[in-house]
Amino acid sequence: MGRSTPTRTPDREAERMLDDNDRARTAYGKHFYGADPADPRLYHLVIDSTRLPVPATVELIVVAARAF
């Protein structure tokens, strides 16, 4: 009798793939640059675009770009 494999929902599979991708990107940055890509000190501007409407996000980026 074979072992049954639990069925993954498409949402869970997508989340797993995104998590795997995030871990791989973080490992790449740490390995090749010796830095944690999640460190906000590495960036001029950090925006959580999931919390803002798109026009507000765009406006923040435009204002910041013009300031430099």
Provide the phi-psi class of 39: left if phi over 0, else alpha when psi is between -120 and 50, else beta.
beta
The three-state secondary structure class of 24 is: helix
- Is this structure's pTM higher than 0.85? no
Share of the chain above pLDDT 70, in %: 90
57, 49 Cβ separation under 8 angstroms? yes
- How large is the average pLDDT for residues 26-52? 93
Per-residue pLDDT band at 39 (split at 50, 70, 90): very high
Per-residue pLDDT band at 33 (split at 50, 70, 90): very high
Is 80 exceeded by the pLDDT of residue 1? no
Chain-centre distance for alpha carbon 20:
11
How far is it between the farthest Cα atoms of the chain?
A: 67
Query: Residue 47 is inside which H or E element, if any?
Result: none
- CA atoms of 2 and 4, how far apart (whole Å): 6
How high is the pLDDT of residue 3? 57
